[in-house]
Structure formats: structure tokens, C-alpha cells
Amino acid sequence: MKAIIDNKFEIDLSKPIDISIPLSNTDKNPIAWYIEKPQIEPVKFGDWIGKVSEGSSTNFNNIFFNPHGHGTHTECLGHITKAFYSINQCLKQFFFSAELISIQPESFANDLVITKSQLEKALENKNSEALIIRTLPNSESKKSKNYSNTNPPYLSEEAAIFIREKGIQHLLIDLPSVDREEDEGKLLAHKAFWNVKDVENLNKDARLNCTITEMIFVADEVADGSYLLNLQIASFENDASPSKPILYKI
């Protein structure tokens, strides 16, 4: 099945490129922020167990997980504001032009940081609604890594401001956060991207319709370049939701 976009671009909808990481209750599930792996287990009522292999007519599982720490998730500015904002209310469109770039973070004061100059060089005159950042090296271990207490790479505040000023509305990255793991609660990149100046009294020009998606994985065979992004979320009334970003080659 194919679709024509703006009478210019042909998209083959039969060839989706899934850049999400599935959530499971195994040790292969990625973890961040010092929590344990997700729990997926059958409901139990006395001697009844919601599992066909245990004699039930259906599989009937409870799932306990944290969207921020257990895999691919999309968040709105409600992640950092005193007032409640829901990803289900902030994200109302789901298809976007997207640019995929690969960047090797630079060493800075014992950290690895994605800088403004790296983004300027990678994007040049390219413009899109969404930006997907694949960090190098691109190990398969990203799909099962425990990031807690590892000080992963992150975006500099200047890089996040550049992304915002370039008009990019949706940022996707293969790291557990756009900010430093331990940053004394400053969250400089989050605030810069969403243009949040005061978390208690939200400024009128804060970017309510913009999102950050973290903990994706883009395989090496997916080339840098332009794509159509379908950003899928579950309908949670929460600051974040597990998500399934899908790319289509243009």
C-alpha cells in the first residue's frame, strides 16, 4: 500500500521502520532511573489464575511499569510543570516530516554531550517537524541496557535551544533523557526545548504541542535522511506514555 504526500512524495506504508523498544518483564528490558524491571503477571482470584496454560479460558495479565524508565516513551511539558498537562491532550497530530541524524557525543568535563555545533553541522539547511538523533557508537545493548548510575550522554542547553529555534516540534533520541542523569533538578535541556521559564507559573509561549521521545533504537541499516514519522502513543492521561514511533522512507 502506498500514499502520496502533497502530490510530491510517495510513501510505501507496507514497509514501516519501527524505532521503539518493546516492553517486557525480562532482564532484556532496558531500565533507567534506579527502578526494577516491569511486571507482567496473570491476575489471581483465590485458586483462579488468568492464564490459559494454568487452566483459564483467557490470558488476563496485570502490567506494572514506568513509562519514563522502562523503554520508549513520549512526554509532554507536563513532565516538568507544577500544573498537570497530559500527553494525550498535548499530542493531537501523529504524522510529521522527520530528519534522522547520527551524532557521536563530544567529551566535556567527564561527560559526553551533544552540542549545538554538532547539530548545526548535521542539519545545515534541513527543516522538518521532527528530529531523530541516533548516538554513536550505536550498540545493540541500547535495547537492554540498565542506564542507572551510568551518566549517559545528554544534550547541552544550547543544543536544545537550537532545536527549539529551528522550529522542530518533536525530538526523538536513543538516550534515557535529554538531560544529565544527575543535574540537581535543573533539567536545562527539557526546559529549553519546551521553552518553560517557570515550572510553577507556565509562560504563555511555552510549547504545549511539542514532545520529547526517549529510549528509541534506530538500527544501523536505517540511513540518515528524511522520513515520514508516525508517532503513536497509548491514550494515557499522564505526562508521558509508552510510544511506538514508526518511520517511513520517502
**Which H or E element spans position 89?**
helix 87-90
How do residues 143-193 score in pLDDT, each as one tens digit?
A: 999 999 999 999 999 999 999 999 999 999 999 999 999 999 999 999 999
> Do the domain assignments include residue 44?
no
> Do the domain assignments include residue 40?
no
> Do the domain assignments include residue 32?
no
> Do the domain assignments include residue 35?
no
> In whole angstroms, how far apart are CA 208 and each of 82, 92, 122, 126?
14, 11, 26, 24
Q: Which domain holds residue 153?
A: 2-22+67-249
- pLDDT value of position 9: 73
- Span between the terminal Cα atoms of the chain, in Å: 14
> Do the domain assignments include residue 241?
yes
- pLDDT value of position 10: 86
Name the domain count of the chain. Answer: 1
Integer Cα distance of 87 and 104 in angstroms? 30
> Do the domain assignments include residue 95?
yes
Integer Cα distance of 229 and 98 in angstroms? 6
> In whole angstroms, how far apart are CA 63 and each of 68, 193, 220?
15, 31, 31
For residue 131, give the CATH number of its domain.
Answer: 3.50.30.50
How do residues 107-155 score in pLDDT, each as one tens digit?
A: 999 999 999 999 999 999 899 999 999 999 999 999 999 999 999 999 9
> Do the domain assignments include residue 222?
yes
